[in-house]
Structure 1
Amino acid sequence: MNDPEAIPDPAAHPAIRPDSTKDKCRDSPQMLVELDKLLKLAGPMLFVSLLQFGIQMLSVMFVGRLGELHLASSSLTTSIAGVTGYTVMIGMGSALETLCGQAYGAKQYAMLGVHAQRAMLVFGILSIPISVLWIFTGPILGVLKQDPEISAMAGESAPWLIPSILPFGILQSQTRFLQTQGITVPQMATTAVGCLVHGVVCWVLVDKLKMGNSGACLANGVTYWVIVIVLAGYIKVSSSCQETWKSFSLEGARGVLSFLKLGVPSAFMMCLEFWSFQVFIVLAGLLPDAELETSMMLISLNTAAVVFRIPNSLGSAVSTRISNELGAGNPGAARMAVRVVLLLAVSQGLLASSIATATRHVWGCIYTDDKILITYLSVVAPKIAVCNFIDGIHGVLSGCVRGCGWQNCGAYISLGAYYFVGIPVALLFAFVWRYGGEGFLLGIIAGSSVKVILLLVVTVSIDWEDEAKKAKENVDACSMQQ
């Protein structure tokens, strides 16, 4: 019984080491540390996102007081601008989450400024065709057989948005430049100032100078330029950015292709999803009770977009954490960030879905006094709740993909999920099986579910050690281009 050979040697049998049961426990402190890092990034980003939404709502409030025609025209103009301009800029800007994030993690601090300058150059060039498109908004809407009166007013006001597109693009560069360094407070402060400025400018242009929709559009440009200038001043004088921002130089004009290789698929990754939702709104106008169905879709998607700001902020946070850690050569920390953010996504998804279901009978009252529409919204609320939950998962998984620089893969997934699954399923339910507008929501659920499954497969298959090596190679290659 006391034979030493009868006692297993812990070194020879690592599976039964005395402390092997503690390995999983060691993850708990690491998860708490990662949770703290993610929330410190995601919280301010969510605050900034809500403030930016507040800027949009201020415009709607001022225009809405002018009458239904002005409100309908403003909604159409905003939709056109979002589809053809703002969403494209946001999507391309997300490429900096990878490029700047990995450079910061690898301590190649000067490259952050270079990447940001390359993005600004691309946005400056891109703003030209977008501006031309907005000039011809009226004729384009006429070709699309939209209401003549609404189209005419939208055509008059859309060109007044042109001053906003360049500062909006620059703002995407500044935001990602600061975000990947973990600098978030200045963004909150400047966006809050922007909200106040926007309210004053809207009051002057819309109410005092009687510029109507055109004044509200012009106010966007004024507001974004104010935010950009204030942030630029902070970046210039702050000690936090001394190593990452030197000055504008010719280096920013070199290697633009390296930005476009990620920027273009990043734009498609986001735009393909957003465009599919606009398709559903247009198709709702072809249903028997078009006004009711369109109103339901607009309210439902607007609500979903507001709720999506939570997982989208988490996605941006985890993208930053992953790119930082891969750039620093810490694949284990990047893997841990994915685990923690998925737990957060599931938790917030369950909470958001529960709230949507519990408030389904009063939810519609926020938007309308029409009892029929309120009842209809209460019926579709559970489906919106499911959308919120699924969107929460794919929102953070998309962030994981961006952090690794897999935007090409993400673009193909968005294309397949929404255009080969989501839209066809929606058409079947809405027009063939006569589910009406509910069929479109079922199509969104189908498309988003496929996207989640594919993104999960991609995320699970990631070789984090290999991704860390690739990140180092990418950072070194970008540094050599200077």
Structure 2
Amino acid sequence: MAAVGLVPPKVAPMAPALARQQSVINDLTASSSHWQIYSSIFYLFVPTFVARLAWIGMKTTDTALLGHSGTVFLTASSLSDFWTSMSGVFIGDNVLGALMGQAYGAKNYDMVGRWFQISMTLFSWVLIPVMLLWCATSPVLHYGLGYAEDVASYAGYYATVSALCLPAKLVNGKLSTFFTSQKITGPSSKTTPVALILNLVFGLQFVLGIPYAGLKVGFWACPWVTTLVEWFLLLVISVVWVGYYRSHEQCYGPKLHEWNFLRDVFLAPLFATAESERFAYYNQNIRPKLWEFIKLTVPATLAMASDFWRMSAIGLLAGTLGDKEVAVFNASYRIAWMNLVIIGAFSSACVTQLGIALGTGDGGLSLKIRDLGIGTVLVFLVATVSASVVYIEALASIFTNDPEVIALFKECRFAMALMIFFMCFSVHFESLLVALKKTDTLFKAALIGSWGGQVPGVLILFYLYGPSLQNVYLGIGGGYALLMILYMVPFLQADLHEAAGKAYAENAASKPLTA
């Protein structure tokens, strides 16, 4: 006879209507300890970091596979990335997480789902010209920039196939933000490592012919592998987290199921009038918030694009130096990128937690999250930058064994450290401004700091004091210092108690969000 009481009782699945009245946000308040707040932030940070690291691994895998396929193919993919990145920046959505977090904090769960639909409405239209620009890579490189026809053709093929994954990439990004704003991290943290493994396994087989030489396709398979893996990820998230776990239900209630992608994204913006019964869902749920979303998103996107174009311009200037200087500059940017991955993931976690705190109307908790986040980033950067200065020779040895290049690393170590410190710190404050929905301030600061500070600073040092790598670093670091101040001052001046009250008032549901 089986022992009684050893088997725990089965718990029935919670009904969506009941689940939507409960939230883990109540775990934190202004009276929560620093350790509790840290734990909540790191609960989001770790999976976000894993996801970003896996994405970098995918890009590194592609580069390695193409490098072993042939130098001309590696060159073609680099040119393709250069051109596509210039337009691809426009489908990045930095604002969505802040809006969803505030709605979730206010327990207006349907508003979280509405922001997903509103974002899809705007960025589905933005995606069309971006895809067309990617498909135009070959003629742009050949006729516009004068590259050889064969290289331009390879780059065009790579970009055109890569464009086919953009719809999946767009939806994956929105779904990841949708779930993360609710502290559901599985869809991003568990699928991206799988994507990395699939990309490596199928890349080795179809690009390099390992282990079966007869199935080798070469360069032509590389973009297809990445594209199909991206679509596979979307399928997994849709089947597992949406279809099986039903993780979306708390913030995607019955009313939101009336949304029709074709009708409400592509037809309604063109043909809907205020009285259109056919487009009633669009008029009631999308149109009222669409313009607000556009006004927040456009400045944030332009600020991000400005940052990319600015660094591209400075990179071209650094490219006029000698081969050793270019090698050091590229390697140092890899070091900065490693720091940015960590800081970016931590900032993302802080923004999510801060957005939820603002949505609850808890100004005291918002202040604690702000201070803990800034303090943590400061300590981390001081430690990593100091280590980079002290152990610069060991760090340089990772990238080269040339004594002259290592000596150049050592010569530029302080200027390099300055650049990395202010670059990463400015990124953190940029994220915090987005959390407060101050994207207009963000854009103005980015414009002044980039084109009124950093680029002129590099040019002045470069041409007045000599074309040296150290002057490039000093110009970049000084520009980022100015940018950080322009971000930091308005953020620290913001009254978070007032911002929290406003966020709660804007997001509080006017009626119960039950079925």
Normalising by structure 1, what TM-score?
Answer: 0.86
Query: How much does 1:477 deviate?
Result: 9.4
Distance in 2 separating the partners of 1:439 and 1:337? 37
Distance in 1 separating the partners of 2:410 and 2:70? 27
Alignment of 1:229-248 (within 5 A): 229-233=235-239, 234-246=241-253, 247=257
Which residue pairs with 1:39 in the alignment? 42
Which residue pairs with 1:418 in the alignment? 450
Identity of aligned residues (%): 22
- C-alpha change, 1:76 and 1:296, in structure 2 (3 Å) is farther
Query: How much does 1:473 deviate?
Result: 4.0
Residues 1:269 and 2:303 aligned together = yes
Query: How much does 1:368 deviate?
Result: 4.0
- C-alpha change, 1:248 and 1:304, in structure 2 (3 Å) is farther
CA contact (8 A) 2:66 2:73 kept: yes
Which residue pairs with 2:477 in the alignment? 445
The one-letter code sitting in structure 2 at the alignment partner of 1:206 is: V
CA contact (8 A) 2:358 2:499 kept: yes
CA contact (8 A) 2:385 2:421 kept: yes
CA contact (8 A) 2:68 2:208 kept: no
How big is each residue's C-alpha offset from its partner over 1:242-286, in whole Å with a ceiling of 9 and x where there is no partner? 211244615575443332222222212322222211111122233
Alignment of 1:223-372 (within 5 A): 223-233=229-239, 234-246=241-253, 247=257, 249-250=259-260, 251=281, 253-254=286-287, 255-287=289-321, 289=322, 291-372=323-404
Distance in 1 separating the partners of 2:481 and 2:396? 26
CA contact (8 A) 2:361 2:500 kept: yes
3-state SS of 1:181 partner: coil
Which moves more between the two structures, 228-237 or 43-52? Answer: 228-237
Query: How much does 1:56 deviate?
Result: 0.6
3-state SS of 1:173 partner: helix
- C-alpha change, 1:66 and 1:297, in structure 2 (3 Å) is same
Unaligned stretches of 5+ residues in structure 1 = 1-25
How big is each residue's C-alpha offset from its partner over 1:285-335, in whole Å with a ceiling of 9 and x where there is no partner? 334x2x334333322223212220111112111111121111111111111
Unaligned stretches of 5+ residues in structure 2 = 1-28, 210-214, 261-280
Distance in 2 separating the partners of 1:103 and 1:184? 18
Which residue pairs with 2:90 in the alignment? 88
Distance in 2 separating the partners of 1:402 and 1:478? 26
Query: How much does 1:146 deviate?
Result: 4.8
Distance in 2 separating the partners of 1:377 and 1:271? 29
Distance in 2 separating the partners of 1:284 and 1:154? 24
- C-alpha change, 1:244 and 1:236, in structure 2 (3 Å) is farther
Query: How much does 1:235 deviate?
Result: 2.9
- C-alpha change, 1:27 and 1:122, in structure 2 (3 Å) is closer
- C-alpha change, 1:77 and 1:371, in structure 2 (3 Å) is farther
Which residue pairs with 2:207 in the alignment? 206
- C-alpha change, 1:425 and 1:80, in structure 2 (3 Å) is same
The one-letter code sitting in structure 2 at the alignment partner of 1:441 is: Y
Query: How much does 1:440 deviate?
Result: 2.3
Distance in 2 separating the partners of 1:458 and 1:466? 14
Query: How much does 1:461 deviate?
Result: 0.7
3-state SS of 1:410 partner: helix
Alignment of 1:15-94 (within 5 A): 30-85=33-88, 87-90=89-92, 93-94=93-94
- C-alpha change, 1:311 and 1:160, in structure 2 (3 Å) is same
Query: How much does 1:74 deviate?
Result: 1.9
CA contact (8 A) 2:107 2:509 kept: no
The one-letter code sitting in structure 1 at the alignment partner of 2:479 is: G
The one-letter code sitting in structure 1 at the alignment partner of 2:307 is: E
Which moves more between the two structures, 350-359 or 245-254? Answer: 245-254
- Of 372, 385, 402, the match for 2:434: 402
CA contact (8 A) 2:90 2:126 kept: no
Which residue pairs with 2:4 in the alignment? none
- C-alpha change, 1:468 and 1:479, in structure 2 (3 Å) is farther
How big is each residue's C-alpha offset from its partner over 1:21-77, in whole Å with a ceiling of 9 and x where there is no partner? xxxxx9996322222211111122111111111111110111111233222222222
Distance in 1 separating the partners of 2:510 and 2:110? 11
Which residue pairs with 1:160 in the alignment? 161
How big is each residue's C-alpha offset from its partner over 1:192-246, in whole Å with a ceiling of 9 and x where there is no partner? 1111121133234423465544432222211221222222231343254321124
3-state SS of 1:82 partner: helix
Which moves more between the two structures, 200-209 or 108-117? Answer: 200-209
3-state SS of 1:65 partner: helix
Which moves more between the two structures, 118-127 or 325-334? Answer: 118-127
Which residue pairs with 1:3 in the alignment? none
Which moves more between the two structures, 109-118 or 209-218? Answer: 209-218
- Of 478, 492, 495, the match for 1:463: 495
The one-letter code sitting in structure 1 at the alignment partner of 2:237 is: L
Which moves more between the two structures, 230-239 or 404-413? Answer: 230-239
Which moves more between the two structures, 396-405 or 350-359? Answer: 350-359
Q: CA RMSD in A?
A: 2.6
Distance in 1 separating the partners of 2:294 and 2:220? 33
The one-letter code sitting in structure 2 at the alignment partner of 1:41 is: L
- C-alpha change, 1:369 and 1:226, in structure 2 (3 Å) is farther
- C-alpha change, 1:78 and 1:373, in structure 2 (3 Å) is farther
Distance in 2 separating the partners of 1:219 and 1:88? 24
- Of 204, 225, 228, the match for 1:219: 225
Alignment of 1:377-396 (within 5 A): 377-396=409-428
Which residue pairs with 2:140 in the alignment? 140
Which moves more between the two structures, 238-247 or 365-374? Answer: 365-374
Which residue pairs with 1:118 in the alignment? 118
Query: How much does 1:186 deviate?
Result: 3.1
Which moves more between the two structures, 220-229 or 44-53? Answer: 220-229
- C-alpha change, 1:220 and 1:40, in structure 2 (3 Å) is same
